[in-house]
Amino acid sequence: MTDRQSILVPIRVLEGESVPEGVPELLAHSHVVLVGYHVIPEQTAPGQARLQFEDRATERLDEYEEMFEGAGATVERRLVFTHDGQKTIDRMIAEHDCMAVLVPNATGPVEDVLVPVRGAVGVDRLARVVASVFGAMDADVTLYHVAAADTTDDDVQTLLSGITERLVEFGMDPSTIETRIDRDRNPLDAIVDVAKSFDTVVMGETDPSLATFVFGMPATQVANRFLGPVFVVQRERASADEDG
Partner 1 sequence: MPEQPVDVGPGGENVAGEAPAAEPETVTDDAILHDDDVELERTIGLIGGLAIGIGTMIGAGIFVFPGLAAASAGLAATLSFAIGGLIALLVALPTSELATAMPRSGGGYYFISRSMGTAYGAIVGLGLWLGLMFASAFYLVGLGHYASAVFAELNIALPVSPVIGIGLLFGAVLTALSIGGTENTAKLQNVVVGVLLVVLTVFLSYGVLDAVGVFGGGTVPEQFFSRGYFPVLTTAALVFTSYLGFAQVATVAGEIKQPGRNLPLAMVGSVLIVTLFYVVTIFVATSAFGAERLGEFGETAMVEVARDFLGLPGAVAILGAGLLATFSSANASILSASRAVYALSRDALLPRKASKVNLRYGTPHVALLAAGGPILVLVATGRVELLAEVASFLHLIMYGLMCVALIVLRRRNPDWYSPSYRVPAYPVVPAVGAIASFGLIAFMQPASIGIGIVVMLASYLWYRYYAGDVTLKGDL
Shortest distance in whole angstroms from residue 31 CB to partner 1: 15
> How far is residue 192's CA from residue 157's CA, in Å, rounded to a whole number?
22
| C-alpha span between 144 and 164 (Å, rounded) | 12
Minimum distance of partner 1 from residue 53's CB (angstroms): 7
CB of 233 to partner 1, least distance (A): 24
Q: Which residues are near partner 1 by CB under 8 A?
A: 40-54, 58, 77-84, 87-88, 91, 243-244
DSSP-derived secondary structure for 107-168: --S--EEEEE--SSTTHHHHHHHHHHHHTTTT-EEEEEEEE-TTS-HHHHHHHHHHHHHHHH
Q: How far is the CB of 214 from partner 1 (least distance, A)?
A: 18
**Closer of 174 and 244 to partner 1 (Cβ):** 244
154/243 with CB nearer partner 1? 243
Beta bridge partners of 202: 231
Secondary-structure breakdown of the chain: helix, strand, coil percentages, each rounded to the nearest 5? 40, 25, 35
- Alpha-carbon distance of 99 to 243, in angstroms, equals 22
Q: At residue 104, what are phi and psi to the nearest 5 degrees? A: -80, 120
Q: How far is the CB of 37 from partner 1 (least distance, A)?
A: 8
Nearer to partner 1 (CB atom), residue 84 or residue 97: 84
Nearest to partner 1 of 80, 127 (CB atom): 80
Q: Please, which residue, 37 or 198, has the CB nearer to partner 1?
A: 37
